[in-house]
Every structure is written in C-alpha cells, then in structure tokens.
Amino acid sequence: MVKTKEVLLRVEIKIEIPQDIMLNKKRLKSVQQGILKVISKGPYEEGLAFNIAKATFVDLSSFYNLPGTT
C-alpha cells in the first residue's frame, strides 16, 4: 500500500461569467457544478485522492459594492 499524506490547498480563483448566466439561477448552478468538475478532474486523473471539501462562489461586484456596479 502506498503511504500518503493529506494536505490542504487553499486557492482563490477569479472567473469571468457572462451576466446573462449570472441572472439565470439554473444556468449558473450548472456552470458552477461544471467548474468544480473541471477543477477536480486533473488531480483525479493523476491518481490523487481528491475531494473539494468546500466551494463558495461570490459575486464580486455585489461583494465589494462598488459604485456603478449594481
């Protein structure tokens, strides 16, 4: 059996999502699930035990509440 060591990778990724998708909850959820699937595919194909334990999507324009972005 191969010895392994569990590590935690913290990553912040900014993604440009078209506004029409952001306004359509069903499409947005589908896009979010697709993004998580793509992110986890690479390590899995390399033989790593890989689990996305937590993922949060934040709308940065409303998060920062910048003038002219609402």
Residue 11 lies in a domain: no
Please report whether residue 41 resides in a domain: yes
Q: Is residue 35 part of a domain?
A: yes
Q: Where are the beta strands (DSSP E) in the chain?
A: none
- Name the nearest CA neighbour of 11 among 39, 49, 43: 39
Q: Summarize pLDDT for 23-41 with one digit per residue, the tens.
A: 999 999 999 999 999 988 8
Query: Which pLDDT does position 33 carry in this prediction?
Result: 93
- Residues 30, 1: Cα–Cα separation, whole Å: 37
Q: Is 49 part of a structural domain of the chain? A: yes
Report if residue 57 sits inside a domain. Answer: yes
The pLDDT value given to residue 69? 46
Does residue 6 belong to any structural domain of this protein?
A: no
Task: Give which of 28, 11, 15 is closest to 61, Cα–Cα.
Answer: 15
What domain range is 50 assigned to?
19-64
How many folded domains does the chain comprise? 1
Closest CA to 21 of 7, 35, 32: 32
Write out residues in the chain with pLDDT < 70, as ranges: 63-70
